[in-house]
């Protein structure tokens, strides 16, 4: 239904008319990546997914290399996420609510674009769809449509003054709406009250290395040590760490890939004892998880890709040490 309403709205406002992207559109996307992660603001936004609607309040201040940010849920399970630079900390009133906060931290609108936009053109075609208006601000509507059916289409409405993403719509390969973020109130001035950045809950969990980190020296060394085959074209490794999966006390290898828009985490651990049954679940909006056993290894994929694509990828992926 949401996809039908979106299509009807585009037709009614004349936004269905399109023109292919120019260099100007690519430059606009680069500005949007910077503004999405660093533009000071006080705002309210809606998040629609899986027939659910959530409302969040967002405060952000600081410079691009020293961002301070706090987002608070206004409905549903009480929770908040605070960002200081590249570190996220989730807060809630109890452990159950803390898990919901961690899920909310999987995607932090409007910081939705990777800094590796130079690789986007390999996997996506960019098209300008016209103009629209969100939260009383004019915006340019751009569509990033994948060149295969293994990824989602993303439509962004970028503020004409700052290039800040004002709305993001994720569409399935069948053009159905999977998820949508949109601002309803927006003030593009830094919050003056420092109390706006202090958490109100005491139960917390820190997430280090949040955001779209650049490829690091450890990741480069890991890439030289491991050969990963079976990923769709365009994905490249950003970082590699050793970490634990929920419910496991063993360190597992964690590799992070991106095609410039979608993020993909690959967890690899040796199978001990009887192999776990294969499973595929939707975690949050456009983010899904698929786990399979293959060649004595437990392979877990988590990413903002279609569940069917993740499942096919998990069956075909091969990881070998060099």
Distance CA 276, CA 292 (A): 8
| Tokens, residue 298 | 């437990």
Rounded Cα distance between 284 and 286, Å, is 6
Provide the pLDDT for residue 83.
94
Q: Would you state the structure tokens that stand for residue 210, as one six-digit string?
A: 């949040």
* Residue matched to tokens 């939260």: 135
Which residue in 273, 270, 319, 266 sits closest to 289, CA to CA?
266
Q: Tell me: the pLDDT tens digits for 226-280?
A: 778 889 889 988 888 876 655 666 778 889 999 989 999 999 888 777 777 888 9
On whether the pTM is more than 0.85, the answer is no
Question: For residue 149, what are the CA distances in angstroms to 23, 123, 251, 312, 314?
Answer: 25, 10, 33, 12, 16
Distance CA 93, CA 61 (A): 25
Q: Provide the CATH number for the domain formed by 2-207 in this structure.
A: 2.50.20.10
Structural domain boundaries in the chain: 2-207, 217-321
Q: Does the CA dihedral 272-311-46-147 come out positive or negative? A: positive
CATH tag, 217-321: 3.30.200.100
Q: What's the pLDDT at 10?
A: 33
Gap between the Cα atoms of 33 and 163, Å rounded = 8
Tens digits of residue pLDDT in 64-84: 778 999 999 999 889 999 999
pLDDT in tens, 75-133: 988 999 999 998 999 999 998 888 888 888 888 999 999 887 888 888 999 999 999 99
Kindly give, in sequence order, each residue whose CB lies less than 8 Å from that of residue 306, ignoring residues fewer than 6 positions away.
149, 150, 151, 152, 172, 173, 288
Residues 25-76: tens digit of each pLDDT: 889 999 999 999 999 999 999 999 988 999 999 999 988 778 999 999 999 8
pLDDT of residue 119: 83
């Amino acid at each position: 239904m949401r996809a039908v309403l979106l299509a009807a709205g585009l037709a009614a406002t004349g936004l269905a008319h399109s023109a292919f992207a120019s260099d100007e559109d690519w430059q606009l996307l680069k500005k949007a990546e910077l503004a999405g992660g660093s533009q000071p603001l006080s705002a309210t936004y809606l998040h629609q997914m899986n027939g659910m609607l959530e409302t969040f309040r967002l405060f952000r201040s600081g410079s691009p290399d020293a961002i301070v940010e706090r987002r608070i849920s206004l409905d549903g399970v009480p929770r908040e996420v605070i960002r200081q630079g590249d570190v996220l900390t989730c807060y809630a009133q109890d452990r159950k609510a803390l898990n919901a906060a961690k899920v909310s931290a999987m995607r932090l609108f409007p910081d939705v674009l990777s800094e590796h936009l130079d690789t986007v053109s390999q996997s996506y075609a960019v098209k300008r769809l016209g103009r629209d208006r969100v939260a009383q601000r004019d915006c340019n509507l751009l569509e990033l449509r994948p060149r295969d059916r293994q990824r989602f289409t993303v439509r962004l409405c970028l503020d004409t003054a700052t290039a800040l993403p004002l709305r993001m719509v994720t569409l399935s390969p069948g053009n159905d709406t999977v998820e949508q973020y949109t601002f309803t109130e927006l003030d593009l001035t830094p919050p003056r009250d420092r109390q706006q950045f202090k958490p109100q809950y005491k139960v917390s969990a820190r997430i280090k290395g949040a955001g779209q980190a650049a490829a690091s020296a450890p990741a480069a060394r890991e890439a030289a040590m491991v050969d990963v085959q079976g990923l769709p074209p365009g994905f490249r490794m950003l970082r590699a760490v050793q970490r634990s999966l929920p419910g496991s006390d063993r360190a597992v290898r964690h590799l992070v890939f991106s095609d410039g828009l979608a993020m993909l985490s690959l967890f690899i651990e040796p199978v001990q004892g009887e192999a776990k049954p294969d499973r595929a679940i939707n975690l949050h909006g456009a983010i899904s998880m698929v786990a399979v056993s293959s060649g004595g290894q437990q392979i877990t994929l988590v990413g903002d890709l279609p569940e069917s694509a993740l499942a096919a990828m998990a069956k075909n992926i091969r990881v070998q040490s060099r």
